[in-house]
């Protein structure tokens, strides 16, 4: 089963049993009715979910990576932002350069101001 399908099934199907090696607690906390079992060697990528304020989305991405996620898959938290390009760069910095969420938000604000 593909990772995207696994994430959708885990989020939408009550009682779904996912076979995963390591699901970050920050991600598990947002998924109810899911049973996690060790054994799947694929990396875990956090889905972005509903639109959040920019600082909250950056905090969610940071926490997921700190808890062991290999990365994030965000759509609406980038494309529905007031400054999508700035938000993309801020998420990238939080995930790949391990900027703290507040630092990522400051980057977002400075890039947004530049246009």
Q: What is the pLDDT along the chain (115 residues), one digit of tens a residue?
A: 344 444 544 554 455 454 444 455 666 555 544 444 455 556 778 887 899 999 999 999 999 888 878 888 899 999 999 999 999 999 999 999 989 999 999 999 999 999 8
Beta bridge partners of 73: 47
Smallest CA-to-CA distance from 83 within 57, 59, 63 is with 57
The answer, as to whether pTM is greater than 0.85, is no
Smallest CA-to-CA distance from 99 within 111, 107, 87 is with 107
């Amino acid at each position: 089963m593909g990772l995207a399908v696994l994430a959708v099934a885990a989020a939408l199907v009550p009682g779904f049993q996912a076979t995963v090696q390591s699901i970050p607690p920050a991600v598990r906390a947002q998924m109810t009715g899911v049973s996690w079992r060790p054994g799947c060697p694929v990396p875990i990528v956090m889905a972005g979910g509903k639109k959040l304020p920019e600082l909250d989305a950056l905090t969610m991405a940071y926490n997921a990576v700190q808890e062991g996620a290999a990365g994030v898959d965000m759509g609406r938290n980038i494309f529905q932002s007031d400054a999508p390009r700035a938000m993309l760069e801020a998420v990238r910095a939080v995930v790949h350069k391990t900027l703290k969420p507040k630092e990522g938000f400051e980057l977002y604000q400075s890039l947004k101001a530049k246009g």
